[in-house]
Amino acid sequence: MVADVVRAAAGPRIHVRGAVKSFSGRVVVNVEDLVLGDRPIEGLIGPNGAGKTTLMRMIMHSTSLDRGRVSLLPPGGGEVVLSSLPAHRMARHGVVKSNQVIMDFDKLTIWDSLLLAVAESRYEQPQRILSERTVFARHEAEIRRHLDFFGFGDPSAFAMSAGEKKLLDIVRCLLLKPTFLLLDEPTAGLPDDLTEKVMTVVRELAATGTTVVIVEHDLNVIWNLCDEVHFMAEGSVILRGDPQSIREHRTVVEKYLGEGHV
């Protein structure tokens, strides 16, 4: 079943051209020409080592490109060359990514982590040491809405379990108000009820104009959520299509799914 998200307006897209990345002489990603975001929710699947996470990191410029170009194409026209921007400028352009490997600030509590995500840079200056209450008052309701939805416990505590840290990562991304959201295995390690909540949030985001691209090994998430799926193998995107056609494609079955899945 495909979500068939109807979005209010066209969302931004990302155009990857001639993007190459090698590690120790081995080409990990070699994408000739790829547009992500023609449809509201797209999936990126492929076997381990296909280069999916590296491609995501190249888009975010947290991994530099050997050559090539990654651009953001906003719905109103124009082009922002993401591959020439420093990594911290991505969020300002609405391009946000959750992390495949669990990443957290080990010294910061849940409150801290989420307030950090929402705090405007003008409040984070050395001379603005009295602005905590202002930032908290501006964003408390929004943060609490997310905390309640995902069923977090005491936000003044640290995120302890892997699942809690994974969700915290997703909530941080949501608080950044992304227009183009990349989710790298967002439901890995989450129980079914939380996976369902993540999928609900993704659908809501897409319906309001955010483009979402999901890398995921839980293929039920991909088949249930995505309008379009890209199949990646050996560093390149070799197929794209609707979930049904990708699921049944001979190459995908041979290289990734296996006969049993069909």
Partner 1 sequence: MTLDWLDAFLITGLFEVVMVIGLALLLHLQLGLARIANFGVVGFWGIGMYVFGVLYVQVDWPFGEPWQFLACAAAATVVAGLAGLLVGWLVADLDTDGVLVGTLGFATAVQILATTQDDLTGGARGMGGLGFPYDIGRVKDNEFLWLVLVTAVVGAILLYVWRVHRSPYGRLLIAVGSNEPLARSLGKPTFRTKLWLFAVASAAMGFLGAMYGVMVRFLDVGNLGVGVTLAAMVGLVLGGTARVWGAVVGVVLTVGLFDIVIQSYLPLPREWYTQAIPVLREAAFGLTLMVVLLFRPLGLLGDMRRDRLMGKIHGR
Nearer of residues 71 and 98 to partner 1, judged by Cβ? 98
Nearer of residues 24 and 121 to partner 1, judged by Cβ? 121
**From CA 111, how far away is CA 135, in angstroms rounded?**
12
Please report which helix (H) or strand (E) contains residue 183, including its range.
strand 180-184
Q: Which of 88, 162, 248, 261 binds partner 1 (CB under 8 A)?
A: 88
**Interaction between residue 115 and partner 1 (CB under 8 A):** yes
Sign of CA dihedral 179, 182, 186, 192: positive
Nearer of residues 45 and 118 to partner 1, judged by Cβ? 118
Confirm if 76 and 241 have CB atoms less than 8 A apart: no
Q: Which of 77, 126, 191, 260 binds partner 1 (CB under 8 A)?
A: 126
Phi-psi region of 38 (alpha: psi -120 to 50; beta: other; left: phi over 0): alpha
Beta bridge partners of 14: 36, 72
Nearer of residues 35 and 91 to partner 1, judged by Cβ? 91
Exposure string for 130-150, b = 16+ CB within 10 A, e = fewer: ebeeebeeebeeebeebbeeb
Q: Which of 25, 129, 193, 250 binds partner 1 (CB under 8 A)?
A: 129
Q: Which of 10, 85, 176, 253 binds partner 1 (CB under 8 A)?
A: 176
Cα Rg of the chain, angstroms: 19
- The least distance separating partner 1 from the CB of residue 153, rounded to whole angstroms, comes to 9
Using the contact rule CB under 8 A, the part of the chain among 69-77, 123-131, 227-235, 239-247 near partner 1 is: 123-131
Residues in the site for partner 1, rule: CB under 8 A?
A: 60, 62, 86-92, 96-97, 99, 103-109, 111-112, 115-117, 119, 121, 123-126, 128-132, 135-136, 140, 154-158, 172, 176
